Amino acid sequence: MRTQDIGIGKYYRFRNNEYCYAKAIKILRPRVNNLDKTSEEKTLKCVVVKCEWSQDKNPVFGLIKYFRPCDLVKI
């Protein structure tokens, strides 16, 4: 997917995974406005999407993962 096609709050799948969902939280670009980023986000070298990674769409437990936009697929 392209960066401009990703909607914040929408669900996507990782291209090689069929059982987990990635909910887009934020699109992060490298070296732009470093004031509100964490130390991991400050070291980015490409555009990434910050996602909540869970096994279902209404998660009780989810992980925060960073994916490149080209790795996400629409459901």
Confidence tier at 71 by pLDDT (50, 70, 90)? very high
Domain layout of the chain by residue ranges: 3-74
Model confidence, pTM: 0.82
Hey, what are 29's tokens? 């670009």
For 14-70, write each residue's pLDDT tens digit: 988 888 999 999 998 887 666 777 777 777 888 999 999 998 888 788 899 999 999
Residues listed for the chain: 75
How many whole angstroms separate alpha carbon 65 and alpha carbon 41?
Answer: 11
